[in-house]
Amino acid sequence: MKYEEIIHRCFRCGYCKLTGDYVDFNCPSYRKFRFETYAPGGRMWLIRAWLNDEIQNSERFQEILFSCATCANCVENCVFTFSDDLVNIFIAAREEMVNKGVIPSVVRDYLKNIYVHGNPYKEPANERGTWADGTSIETYDGQEYLFYIGCVGSYDERGQKIARAVGNLLMKAGVSFGILGSREGCDGNEVRALGEAGLFQLLAEQNIALFKELRAKEIITLDPHAFNALRQDYPGLGGEFEVYHYTQILAPLIQSQMMPLKEYRARITYHDPCYLGRHNGVYEVPRKILSSIPGVELVEMDQNRENAFCCGGGGGNFFTDILGGGEDSPNRIRVRQALDTGASVLAVSCPQCAKMLEDAIKVEEMEHRLEVMDIAEIVTRALS
């Protein structure tokens, strides 16, 4: 396995499962299960034992490996020299398990659906662009930007709503852009995180070939997961594009008054998506948008920016739900943290976070106290 020669260096000090100030447990799988084996250091020792044939692969072992949300809190807080590679080590172990065919059935189903249908929902490819029906959003044909949506924004009802909100805002601001519609393919971020490196490469190469055929140079992504794949992984496969998360396009338009905003009185707290924040360092742009809206009071949760607590949807968990529900599920913990700020709106900038957190609000019966809104929906409200 890749990284095999460094895995024994973890001395299980345990800092990786904490926040930067060592006050709270911030690894979502540890927080949920409270066993050291579900913490990053424990996983390291478990993988090592498996590689050394000291333990057998079992359903429990698979659950432990695949419950990691790849949130990168451990990357931020591990005190050792290999910290940058921690998530890559967990993905490499999953890769080894995929190659040996010993993976949870929910992971196998997810990967199979992407391979067979091109999306996890088993929906027809020609319905990928239906989220834009009824709008005047055009198909990409050499406009300045290609707007890439991803599977959740394309097929999930909540995701589609957010995709339309972003698309309509870009149109209102006069941005020249187009979408791929039924020609769009899965970006593969979760496929890679789940350890199917071969399928990820296939998807990435297909997307890169299409972007190049269409001469797209600048790409706006709806979903931070796609943003991460296109920005971090595609260049290594020959796909060098200028990639933006949609907030990075909206922020300068708002700052330059090209989208003048009216008053919207609300106390808002912002949840950093792991794939926008820790994985790509975009912390301030979404906050700039929110604090530019007259009447908005932006308040922070204790765990914010580098210390944000993951919603539990990363690393494929949004689809596989290996982390599972219950009072200590990451999304329920996160909405309680949001409520503690006194905010009435929990702002997000990721369709996966939106869904995870909305589900948690329902289970916690907080619907009348806290509403999840994507930043694009908040800006839309401030424009009307």
Q: Which positions lie near ligand SF4, rule CB under 6 A?
A: 10-16, 27-29, 40-41, 43-44, 68-74, 78-80, 86-87
> Which residues are paired to 145 by β-bridges?
177, 218
Q: Helix crossing, 375-383 with 246-255: angle to 10°? A: 30
Q: Which of 96, 374 has the CB closer to ligand SF4? A: 96
User: Taking the complex as a whole, how short is the minimal distance between the CB of residue 324 and ligand SF4, in angstroms?
Assistant: 14
Residue number with the smallest Cβ distance to ligand SF4: 41
The counts of H helices and E strands in the chain are 18, 8
Maximum alpha-carbon separation in the chain: 63
User: Taking the complex as a whole, how short is the minimal distance between the CB of residue 78 and ligand SF4, in angstroms?
Assistant: 3
Q: Which of 70, 303 has the CB closer to ligand SF4? A: 70
Q: Which of 87, 293 has the CB closer to ligand SF4? A: 87
Q: Helix crossing, 351-363 with 157-172: angle to 10°? A: 130
Q: Which of 297, 302 has the CB closer to ligand SF4? A: 302
User: Taking the complex as a whole, how short is the minimal distance between the CB of residue 69 and ligand SF4, in angstroms?
Assistant: 4
Q: How far apart are CA 154 and CA 160, in angstroms?
A: 6
User: Taking the complex as a whole, how short is the minimal distance between the CB of residue 12 and ligand SF4, in angstroms?
Assistant: 4
Tokens linked to 5? 């020669």
Q: Which of 261, 323 has the CB closer to ligand SF4? A: 323
User: Taking the complex as a whole, how short is the minimal distance between the CB of residue 339 and ligand SF4, in angstroms?
Assistant: 23
Nearest to 358 by CA among 207, 86, 156: 156
Phi, psi dihedrals of residue 296, rounded to the nearest 5°: -85, 130
Amino acid, single-letter form, for residue 161: K
Nearest to 2 by CA among 90, 92, 84: 92
Q: Which of 18, 289 has the CB closer to ligand SF4? A: 18
Residue 267 in contact with residue 297, Cβ under 8 Å? yes
Tokens linked to 63? 């659950």
Q: How far apart are CA 32 and CA 295, in angstroms?
A: 37
User: Taking the complex as a whole, how short is the minimal distance between the CB of residue 40 and ligand SF4, in angstroms?
Assistant: 4
User: Taking the complex as a whole, how short is the minimal distance between the CB of residue 64 and ligand SF4, in angstroms?
Assistant: 10
